[in-house]
Amino acid sequence: MEEKQTRGNLREATPSGRKTAIELKGVCKRFGDTSAVEDLTLSIYEGEFFSLLGPSGCGKTTTLRMIAGFEEPTEGEISVAGKSMRGVPPYRRPVNTVFQSYALFPHLSVFDNIAFGLREAKVPKREIEQRVADACALVQLEGLEGRKPFRLSGGQQQRVALARALVNRPKVLLLDEPLGALDLKLRKGMQLELKNLQHEVGITFVYVTHDQEEALTMSDRIAVMNQGRVYQLADPATLYESPRNRFVADFIGQTNIFSGEVEEVVGERALLRTDEGLRVEAAIRARRVEPGARAHAAVRPEKIRFSAGGDNAFLGVVRDAVYMGSSTQYMVELREKRRITVNHQNIRDGDILRVGEEVEVSWDAANCLLLEE
């Protein structure tokens, strides 16, 4: 699929046969002198699980609020299902929002919370009963319809919020860090449930999170945002294996980044002389680079081996070891006090290296990417 650079943001060409559910064209949002979102252009497709990922203050929640209608763009256009949303209030948009706080009515039962929007829309009583029953079955709440929210666990409350949003049959479901209030084990379980639920109902999900593992687990595509802009838009595997720049490489998972000057370029490879004096060979996958340019090379910890023979091989000393069950994470010090992280699978007993042990580490140039400044 060809990607086009559009006024500072990335916009993918529409895949053949897929309809656009949401389109943002040149969207900006300013609060006084502060720019929260700057020149955002992207398309989200029907039936897609799309995530907006980035650190706090990057503009992802503001973008979601503009799609929902809680904020109006300062500039640009937002369309949902082919119709402009300019001036359309939230309650008239074909979208529903699930918030981190759930926003349940504490005095109403599960049934009444889910039925609230249908009653406001004057849906017939018998249809309300059937649609609420279907929604409860969808999110595994059967038998809890009479309970009040305070008698539910956090995960059950989250399911009520989802059912209340889905029962109105929106074209798009917007989710603003909906799992943030849950503990780690429950959050991981809900991630899989949400992904399965999205496949089952087949509607477009737009998900906001600062948790890169959460986004990688659930998303079809991810827009990585920073400072109000999209730094890269791609599927999870592409973001992880081929980050476009230093910010994306550093934000998505763990990585070792070497900074320095390009000494030599041969074909699709570059030789980088790092600030510590190391010579690192890296693959060039993005724009061309010339000798003398300032650049970065990134290699993931799991791509590094405790052995010789790679394109990049260095002697070092183990300075720290953290046992993580299936693997051990090592901090290895190379020369000039340069430390790197190495993840090693615990395949056999006795594989664990000792702190202070001298080692040789190596990795292939194909797994070490040259990044834009």
Give yes or no for a contact between 95 and 169, defined as CB atoms under 8 angstroms apart.
Answer: no
As annotated, the residues of the chain forming the CATH 3.40.50.300 domain(s) are 3-94+170-245
Write down the architecture of domain 254-371 according to CATH.
Answer: Beta Barrel (2.40)
Residue 153's Cβ-count burial label (10 Å; 0-12, 13-18, 19+) is: exposed
Portions of the chain given CATH number 2.40.50.140: 254-371
Q: What percent of the chain has pLDDT over 70?
A: 94
CB within 8 Å of 196: residues ≥ 6 apart: none
Q: What pLDDT digit, counting tens, does each position of 36-84 carry?
A: 999 999 999 999 999 999 999 999 999 999 999 999 999 999 999 999 9
Name the nearest CA neighbour of 53 among 215, 178, 194, 187. Answer: 215
Give residue 201's pLDDT band: very low, low, confident or very high (50, 70, 90): confident
* CB crowding 345-366: b at 16 or more within 10 Å, else e: eeeeeeeebeeeeeeebebbbe
**Domain 3-94+170-245 class?**
alpha beta
**Where residue 17 falls among pLDDT bands split at 50, 70, 90?**
low
Model pLDDT, residue 172: 93
Read off the pTM: 0.86
Compute the radius of gyration of the chain from its Cα atoms: 24
Dist CA 169 CA 333 (whole Å):
56
Is-contact 172 206, C-beta < 8 A?
Answer: yes
* Mean pLDDT in residue range 298-317: 93
Instruction: List pLDDT tens digits, range 150-165.
Output: 898 888 888 898 888 8
